Structure 1
Amino acid sequence: MVSVRVEDVWMVFGKVNALRGVSLQVEEGELVTLLGPSGCGKTTLLRIISGLYRPTKGRVYFDSEDVTDKNPWERNVGLVFQDYALWPHMTVYDNIAYGLKIRNVPKDEMNERIHRIASVLRIEELLDRYPHQLSGGQQQRVALARAVVINPSVLLLDEPLSNLDAKIRINVRTEIRKLQKELKITSIYVTHDQEEALVISDKIAVMNQGIIEQIGSPLEIYNHPATLFVADFVGQINIVKGKTNKRLGENEVIFDTDVGPLKVHTGGEEYSGEVYLAFRPENVELYRPNNPPVNEENVLEGTIDTIQYLGNLLRLDVLVSEKKIRVELHNPAKRGIYSPGEKVYLYIPPTMIHVLTK
C-alpha cells in the first residue's frame, strides 16, 4: 500500500487551465472519489496521477517518492477505463493475463493469480470467452480483474460504471468497494454520479472549474457543504438568499429571505451582507392546515405546485412567495395523498439550515 500526494498541480491545454493549483492527499488503503461535472478537471487529474499526462506545474508523490516524471508502468498503477479497453481478439483469460506477461510473472503464479481474482469477481466461467460474448457488466468485471491482478500500488478508475444499466451499476459498484476494502488498495475513482460517490468513497473531493472546492467524508460533504457549488451539486437542496436581520444570543440569527424570516443556528459565526441559506428537502417538514405545526418560527405557508412519485419517495415542489421549495417525503404510502394546488405549511428546523457565503 502507498499514499498518494498531489502538490499544487496545474495543467494547461493551449489557453485553457484544466487544473489550477490542485493539491490532494490520499492515505494508504483509502478510496477517494473525484466528483464533479464534465469538464471540471477530474479525469485530467487522474491521468496526471497515472502518468498518462505530465503536469504543466506541480508534483505527484507515491509515499515520499516523486513520480511526476515516471511512466505509468514505472508507477505500478492499475487503470480501469469507462470503455473497458479489452483486447477483442483475446480471451478473458488472456486479457487479464496481459499485464502479468509484460511483468514476466511465472506461468504457475500467473494462473493462480488469474483464477483467484476471477473467483472474487465471479467471472471464472467466462475465462475462455471473448469480449464480444460478454455483457457490459461482465466486461467491466474483466477490466477490473485485469487492473487488480498485477497487485498495483494504486488503483485508478475513470467513470468505470457510466456505460452500465442502473441495476448492474449498483451491483458492480458494490463489488468494486468490497474488492478494494478486501485488498486494501489505495484507490482514486472518478465519477459525475453523486450517489455513486456517496456510496463508494472514504473521502470525496468535489471539483469545479479546475479546483477542488471541498474534500471530506460523504457525511461531511452532504451534511456540511462548504460552498454554494458543493451544496447545489451534491444531492437535492433548497437555496434562498438571506440577509441578517437580528442576532438572538450567541448561536442564533434571524435572516430575512425571499420566503420570509428564518431563524438559523449559526454556531456563533458572524455574517454581514448577502448570504445563502441552504437546506435539504428531506429536512423540511410538511403539514396540512387542519394539523398545523406547533412551532411559531420557521413556518412557511405555500401551495403544492408539482408532485413526483418515485415509489419509496414523494418529491413535492411547494410555491412559497413565488419561490419553489422542494420537499421529500419517505415512505409516502403512510402520508396520504397530496394534490397540486393544495395549501400546506412547511417547517424548517433552524439546526438544518446551512449558511453559505460563496
Structure 2
Amino acid sequence: MSKRAYNFNAGPAALPLEVLERAQAEFVDFRESGMSIMEMSHRGAIYESVHNEAQQRLLSLLGNPTGYKVLFTQGGASTQFAMIPLNFLSEGKVGSYVMTGSWADKAYKEAKLVGGVHVAASSEEQKFLKIPELSSIKAADNAAYLHVTSNETIEGTQYAEFPDSGSIPLIGDMSSDILSRAFDVNKFGLIYAGAQKNLGPSGVTVVIAKEELIAESPSHIPTILRYSTHTKNNSLYNTPPSFSVYMVNEVLKWIEEQGGLAGVESKNREKAGLLYEYIDGSDGFYRGVADPGSRSIMNVTFRMQSEDLEKQFVKAAELEGFIGLKGHRSVGGLRASIYNAVPYENVKALADFMKHFRQTQG
C-alpha cells in the first residue's frame, strides 16, 4: 500500500485504518454468507444483527441511558434541521435556537420555514468566534425545544458544557463532535449526528432520543419524516444505508478498543493541545481564530499574516501529503480537523511541518 495521506478533511473525514482493513477483509464475503453486506436484504437476519448491535453498542458507549432509542436515518443533519420542527413545533410553540455559527444558522433558517422560531442567545457580535455564556441562554416561555450546535466546524468553536434546559427538551446537533468526549446524555431530549466525521462514512445519520419524545409524530407530515415511523420500524421502514451502518458498528468497536469515551477524549485533548500550543507560541506567525475559552478539540482554525501566505502554506502542505487544511470557503483561513480517527502521529507531523514552514518564511 502506498503511503496514506495526512487526512485533515472536515468531512467526510478520516476513518480508523484498523476499521478500513477489517472492512476490506469482509468486503466480498461477510460472515461466510457468500455476499457482501451491501448485497443482503435489510430484512435478513445477518444484516438485522449488525443493525441492532450498532444501536446497542452506541448506547453502551454512552453509559446505557434509560429510556433512549437509537435511530438510523438518511439525509444528513440537513434533513434533521427540517424533521425537528416538523415533528415538534405544534401550534403556539416555537423552537429556541442558540446561534453559534454557520450550522446553527442553517438549523434556525430551516425551522423558520416550518413555524415559529426564537433566538435564545447569540454570539454574532463576536463574529461567532466564541460560545455564549450559559447564563445568557434563555429559551422562550413557549419553547417546544432548545437547540444547540455542540461544535461549529467552520468557526472552530465548541461548548465546554451544555446548558440546563429544565423541562424544555434540549436538542443537540453533534454531527462534528459526537463520541469525541464524555458527556451526560440525560441532559438531552434528542441528539443527532451525521456519521461522516466521528462515526463512520457518509450516508447514515444517527439520532439518539428519549423514546417518549419520538413515540408519536403529527399525522399530517410525510410518513418518512416522522420520528415515530422510524421508531416503530426500528429504522427499517425503508432500505437503510446498510454498509454505512455496518461501518458505524465497526467504528464503535474501535472506540471501545481505545478505552471508550474517556480514552478518545484524552487522545483528542492531547492532539488539540499540541496544535494550539504551537500556534500560540509562534509569535504571531500563526494566529488562532476562536476565542481560547471556546476552542474546539475537533476543528483547529487559524490564520496567517496574509492570504497569499496561507495559499503558499496549503500548497506546500499538499506537496508533503497534508490534505484538507484550507479553511471553509465562507471564512477562509486554515483549518485542521482532528477527529477521533486522526492519529496523534499525524498531528505531530503537522506541527513539525508548521514549524518548518515558519522557519523557511521567517
TM-score, length basis structure 1: 0.27
Identify, as 1 or 2, the structure richer in strand: 1
In terms of fraction of residues, the more helix-rich structure is 2
